[in-house]
Amino acid sequence: MFNANLQEFAQKVDMITSLESNGKLDPEDAYQQIKGLWKQLKHSKKELGIGEEPSATA
């Protein structure tokens, strides 16, 4: 699931950077959009429990 989210993030960032490079999107707007996408990706990672220490069972 995270891999799909990561691929979607990459595709959207590619689209945003293309729009910005072609002058169709303000650099600040592009930055804010990418920042929002990054927050969504981080939330997805957290929700899926990726990168967390396994809980110790004693």
**Which pLDDT score, from 0 to 100, does residue 52 have?**
78
Token pair for residue 28?
């600040």
pLDDT in tens, 27-41: 999 999 999 999 999
55 located within any domain: no
pTM attached to this predicted model: 0.83
24 located within any domain: yes
CA distances from 16 to 32, 53, 55, 57 (A): 10, 34, 39, 45
57 located within any domain: no
Q: Are 50 and 1 in contact (CB under 8 A)?
A: no
pLDDT in tens, 1-57: 999 999 999 999 999 999 999 999 999 999 999 999 999 999 999 999 998 776 655
**Which pLDDT score, from 0 to 100, does residue 57 have?**
57
**Which pLDDT score, from 0 to 100, does residue 56 have?**
57
58 located within any domain: no
Note down the domain range covering 26: 2-46
How many domains is the chain partitioned into structurally? 1
Q: How many CA atoms lie within 13 A of 52 on its CB side?
A: 11
d(CA 41, CA 19): 21
